[in-house]
A and B are shown apart, each in its own frame.
Chain A
């Protein structure tokens, strides 16, 4: 028999746990409901909490457990419960305990307003295994409730957070950048940096998605709330390290010839999402009817083995996309994807103007584009990326030495 280190600590994120044999499914997202107790002005997926029609269509706890069991049998180690507001479900506790007892690590994405002592006690006794993700809609009652449109929600949010703090349950906060909160970013960051159990830097939501079901009910409002490309640049101009990281990620992952392939993000590879009604999707945002699998009729195994890989081969046919996105070298900086295209225009392969502007602004900020250039017209893009990357990697070397190096 071998070895003397019998027990090895591992992590799904940071170590190559699987070598070449990755399980079919590693991570699952489950939208437990589309309903929410808040009514946020920017939200793409909130139905009213009291929407009984939506509630009656939601998967039962029994069905959710069957899906979790199937996921675990495929090797899944992590599940993220989201919504709507997942804690709105009366059976949340039951579903949570079931998932943990299957050996799944659980992430809960919540607005924290429904965290009561019983939940805090439960998560203290049976920790989720992953940080709880908490959305923060403002630093004051006025800003917070002008976003949530729900009186008393700021106090409820504070109570929820206090319970997490008291029980030392790890969580991370996600700020929402809206006109109401734009002036609070400094305060938010300073507050977030003092949260003892938060190890990572706070995250932000700012390029808001249009309605996930394409109902259009408040798309005009959502569009008005989106910050501009210039504003984004202004917010993050102080963060040189983040910009450098962006560029390095970009170079490592996307320094490749632009192409007409639609799916370049890895969605549906060892991961998947189940919506509130049992549709299995490659990505939580991609609800185009041609891209989802009804788990009443098909299995996740079948979808991950056959259906998703077939979808991943799809190529663009929209001429505008072919003339622009398929020739754009800034894809790594752009959030355009089939899901965003679907939400914005109802097709899988349409450029999204708003995201295109942001990617161009980011490209300019990184020195990859001139003021009036369009990325798809740049032919020597590879040289530009390599030169810029090299200059960042070796800031003290002369341009001559860098040229020789690259």
Chain B
């Protein structure tokens, strides 16, 4: 499994389309290799949604966690754990890619 680096910059893969519909963040795979099953979609939990929205291909993960710590009451350690957990899942599913920082 790929290791998540706090200093790395991640962004949504071009192989998925993220859509916000009725308060849900829905990830629709559009390329071969992701979600090939019929009628397959993915949704993110609240934590996932908050982090996904910040994956802009410019901010490092540590910067994202810093921003989240200002918006949520959770501890830094908890936020780091959540962010790493989510990104691991997304990377495993090829829904995000590591971006070369601009």
Q: Which residues of A contact B (CB under 8 A)?
A: 1-14, 17-18, 21-23, 72, 75, 77, 100-105, 124-127, 129-131, 170, 199
Contacts and interface: CB of A to CB of B under 8 A. Distances in A.
The 10 closest A-B pairs by CB, nearest first: A103-B17, A103-B28, A6-B86, A6-B48, A21-B22, A75-B21, A3-B45, A1-B47, A11-B39, A103-B19
A8 B49 CA distance: 12
Given A7-B90, A10-B43, A17-B41, 7 more contacts: A6-B86, A6-B90, A7-B86, A14-B39, A18-B22, A104-B28, A127-B36
Interface in B35-58: 35-36, 38-48, 50
A3 B81 CA distance: 12
A10 B89 CA distance: 15
B42 A8 contact: yes
A72 B20 CA distance: 10
B22 A105 contact: no
A100 B30 contact: yes
Interface residues of B, number: 39
Interface of B: 17-19, 21-24, 26-32, 35-36, 38-48, 50, 72, 74, 78-79, 82, 85-86, 89-90, 93, 95
Contacts of A100: 17, 30
Nearest to B16: A103
Contacts of B36: 127
Contact of A1 (B18, B39, B43, B74): B74
Contacts of B28: 77, 103-105, 129
A7 B42 contact: yes
A298 B43 CA distance: 32
Contacts of A129: 28-30, 35, 38-40
11 contacts: A1-B46, A2-B46, A3-B45, A6-B90, A7-B27, A7-B89, A7-B90, A10-B42, A104-B28, A127-B31, A127-B36
Nearest to B86: A6
